[in-house]
Each structure stands twice: as C-alpha cells, then as structure tokens.
Amino acid sequence: MANLINGKEISLRVRGEVKAETADFIQKTGTVPGLAVILVGDDPASKIYVGNKKKACLEVGFNSFEHILPAETSQADLIGLIEKLNADPSVHGILCQLPLPKHIDERAVIGAISPKKDVDAFHPANVGKIMIGDYDFLPCTPAGVMELIRSAGISVAGKKCVVVGRSNIVGKPMAMLLLHENGTVTICHSKTKDLAAECREADILVAAVGKPKLITADMVKEGAVVIDVGMNRDENGKLCGDVDFSAVSEKAGFITPVPGGVGPMTIAMLMKNTLTAAKLAKNY
C-alpha cells in the first residue's frame, strides 16, 4: 500500500511559514502584502477558488482585493483594470482567474499583467525565466507538486519522470521544474503512441490532463511516486483525479489523494509568491 502524501498537512505548514514571514515583513517595512484577484463571470468553480484565496490571504495577514466583473465585460475594460492594479503600490500580486469568457483573449490579458506582479507566473517574461532557471516566481501548481515531493523525502535527481499533459499552466512548467532538479523527463500527451508503456517507465509520474481515472494500476511501475493534479467528477458526481486512486495506491510507493493532495498546495504557493512579490517591490 502506497504512502499517502498529505497535501492538506503540508499546505498548512507552508501557510504557517508564510504567515510568520509576513508578520516579520510588516513589522520591518510597514507594508502589508496585497493580492488582487479578478473574476470575470460567475463560473461556480471559479467562485469557490476565489473565496478560498480570500480566506488564505486573511489567514496569512495579506490584504485581499476582489474584482468580480460581469461575463460581458470587454477585453479593453479588463485590461484597463489590470493597468490600474499594475500602478497601485498596495497591490503586489495580480491574479486573473482562468478560464475567461470566449470573447476575451487570455494571452493578451496575461501579457497585460506586470511580470513583477504576475504571481501565477504565466507572463511570457516569467515563463522565460523559469526556462533558464533564474526566476522570481514559479507557477503555483507545479511549485506545489515539487514541495510535496520534497516533503516526502524523495530526491528527483537521476529519476525517470513522466508528466502526462502539456498545458502551459501545469504540464510544461512541471517538466521544467523536474528537469531543474536533475530528473530525466518525458512529456506525454494526446498524440503519445503508447501512453501506458511510457508511464510504466516512470519513477515519478505526474498526471495533469483532466480525464477521470485515466491512469490505471497496469500503467504504474511498482513503488513509483504518483502525483495526481487532476480534479474531475466521476460517473457518480464524486470528486476524483486523473489516477484510479484505489487501484494505483496498491502498487505505488507514494501517492497524492484527490481531494487533499495537490489542490491545497496551489493556494499555499500563491501566498508564497505574493509575499515574494511584496519583498521584491520593497527591495527587501
């Protein structure tokens, strides 16, 4: 039976560290870190995420600025708001909740956020910095995965790492972070010829495609580390990941649950990035 990597516990530790560092930062600089979150439309899942981010800000001692805009908001108006937030010294981090309505170009919106306030690390300037290994911020979910791996005492160096999924938000940066830790990395996607064979090679397997229970026990090497980034609903409407947890946990060495695995880490790393942005703004 696999060892469970408990994201809830590890995220509480990270948030506790951020809270202590924030209190110290406020005392020394008189500046309270501020995170602005923009939500366009009323997607229920996005509303929950925004609420969770607000709670986390209060918990660690940040100011939280919420901007809830109607779904019909124009791209020009959204970018106008971002430009105001870029210029606002009380705002250190800006996060625009994705996905955006179809009439808005996500790339234009991401590009409008100042790289110094881009706490999601999606801006092309920050993506480039991650590529060369000289970065201020890391994307929250891949950074959270790396924290989970480290917390379990697992070394990436020399391991065969397989990332299933090639999104700009998780798959691509995840592969880069594993590479920076000296893993030998394969990225799999919808055009991969034999996904099961590739996955069976993995010492560390990260699933991030959004397909319920895609990764089955026969696709996993005995004793592998299995990280499930997926957040889906199964046929009964129950939350589940990209990994068939009950079957794979019998074979893996370490595994993350859904919920309670990667999810809580994403918000914890967002808090960490916002504090970093506040420190950079003050040359702290």
Per CATH, the homologous superfamily of domain 30-114 is Leucine Dehydrogenase, chain A, domain 1 (3.40.50.10860)
Domain 140-263 listed as CATH 3.40.50.920: no
Rg of the chain over Cα atoms, rounded to whole angstroms, equals 19
Q: Tell me if the pTM is above 0.75.
A: yes
CA–CA dist 208, 223 (Å, integer): 20
Tens digit of each residue's pLDDT (9 = 90 or more) over 51-70? 999 999 999 999 999 999 99
CA–CA dist 160, 193 (Å, integer): 18
- The answer to whether 25 and 41 have CB atoms below 8 angstroms apart is no
For residue 49, give every residue at least 6 positions away whose Cβ sits within 8 Å of its Cβ, in sequence order, or none. 97
End-to-end CA distance of the chain: 46
Q: Quick count: other Cβ atoms within 10 Å of Cβ 56? A: 22
| Closest residue by Cα to residue 106 from 175, 40, 48, 165 | 40
Active site residue 120: yes
- Enumerate the domain spans of the chain: 30-114, 140-263
Map residue 185 onto helix, strand or coil: strand
Given the residues 118, 120, 203, 242, the one annotated as active site: 120
Q: For CA atoms 177, 24, 263, 205, give the dihedral sign.
A: positive
Active site residue 244: no
Fold matches, 30-114 and 140-263: yes
Strands 63-69 and 3-4: unpaired
For residue 202, give every residue at least 6 positions away whose Cβ sits within 8 Å of its Cβ, in sequence order, or none. 160, 161, 162, 186, 220, 221, 224
Tens digit of each residue's pLDDT (9 = 90 or more) over 127-172? 999 999 999 999 999 999 999 999 999 999 999 999 999 999 999 9
CA–CA dist 81, 24 (Å, integer): 31
Active site residue 53: yes
Which spans in the chain are helix H? 7-29, 44-60, 75-87, 106-112, 124-132, 140-151, 171-180, 195-200, 245-248, 262-281
CA–CA dist 191, 172 (Å, integer): 15
pLDDT per residue, tens digit, the chain (284 aa), is 999 999 999 999 999 999 999 999 999 999 999 999 999 998 888 888 889 999 999 999 999 999 999 999 999 999 999 999 999 999 999 999 999 999 999 999 999 999 999 999 999 999 999 999 999 999 999 999 999 999 999 999 999 999 999 999 999 999 999 999 999 999 999 999 999 999 999 999 999 999 999 999 999 999 999 999 999 998 888 999 999 999 999 999 999 999 999 999 999 999 999 999 999 999 99
